[in-house]
């Protein structure tokens, strides 16, 4: 059985990726990491896919790294795994990614959720970066992504103490987009995905790229990218359709051009 299940949804353009190591609470072993990276690479290249929803199970979105693979690992072995490429396949995905988080999102699981663009959390979800309690530190981007999302003091409070925090706390800090009842998490994520597939594909892509450019390269670079992208969109049919539809007070019909 695959560690990652791919579920096509009735709404065209939406794919749900489900982590599938239930006995291990979806802990990230190397096989799961590679399978997930391969899935994201394929979906990013698939022109029929518009939005990706990433989900786990009721008890755990992802409980973090599989510690059985870490306990005796040496620095050279960790380096050879090229985790940067595996995380990069998700972080560099050009399409909107929505995380549907129920249960535990700990360590690498919290980092995995932070790779998404929109994060829907269940009220019973629990987040943490507990690596410091294991004598290690986050290795999937938490020191950077938490600081960018929350600021220095909130990020270091999470990273240095390693204590869990609730979905409501995540929402208050800006780490979650929405909090809903646990049983509605995936339905809400798919509802948002359905909204996104009705919007202009190139606009969505350039908005995401502009945000990531600013985060990685700074304000000036982000603003330059934004201006160029804004200008580029004036050559598209979807720009014409969107503005004319608004002026004519009718729903737009975007075609991705």
Among residues 27, 39, 65, 193, which one is catalytic?
Answer: 65
Among residues 55, 131, 155, 214, which one is catalytic?
Answer: 131
Contacts of 54 (CB under 8 A, 6+ apart): 16, 17, 19, 97, 98, 99, 100, 112, 113, 116
Q: Is 108 known to be catalytic?
A: yes
Among residues 13, 64, 91, 108, which one is catalytic?
Answer: 108
Among residues 64, 103, 105, 111, which one is catalytic?
Answer: 111
Q: Is 65 known to be catalytic?
A: yes
Helix intervals (H) in the chain: 30-45, 75-80, 83-91, 108-114, 142-150, 152-161, 167-173, 185-197, 201-217, 219-232, 237-247
CA distances from 29 to 20, 32, 109, 144, 232 (A): 12, 5, 12, 23, 42
Residue 134 has which token pair? 């294991």
Residues belonging to the active site: 65, 108, 111, 131
């Amino acid at each position: 059985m695959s560690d990652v299940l791919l579920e096509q949804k009735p709404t065209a353009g939406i794919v749900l990726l489900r982590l599938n190591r239930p006995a291990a609470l979806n802990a990230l072993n190397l096989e799961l990491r590679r399978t997930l990276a391969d899935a994201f690479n394929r979906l990013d290249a698939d022109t029929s896919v518009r939005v990706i929803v990433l989900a786990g199970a009721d008890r755990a979105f992802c409980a973090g790294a599989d510690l059985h693979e870490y306990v005796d690992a040496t620095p050279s072995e960790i380096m050879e795994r090229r985790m940067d490429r595996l995380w990069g396949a998700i972080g560099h995905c050009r399409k909107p990614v929505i995380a549907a988080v129920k249960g535990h999102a700990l360590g690498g699981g919290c980092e995995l959720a932070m790779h998404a663009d929109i994060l829907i959390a269940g009220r019973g979800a629990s987040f943490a970066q507990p690596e410091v309690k294991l004598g290690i530190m986050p290795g999937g981007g938490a020191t950077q992504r938490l600081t960018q999302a929350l600021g220095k003091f909130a990020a270091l409070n999470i990273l240095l103490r390693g204590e869990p925090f609730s979905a409501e706390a995540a929402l208050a800090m800006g780490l979650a987009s929405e909090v809903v009842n646990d049983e509605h998490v995936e339905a809400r994520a798919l509802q948002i995905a359905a909204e996104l597939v009705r919007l202009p594909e190139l606009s969505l892509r350039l908005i995401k790229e502009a945000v990531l450019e600013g985060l990685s390269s700074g304000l000036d670079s982000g603003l330059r990218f934004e201006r160029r992208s804004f200008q580029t969109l004036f050559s598209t049919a979807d720009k014409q359709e969107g503005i004319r539809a608004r002026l004519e007070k009718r729903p737009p019909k975007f075609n991705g051009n």
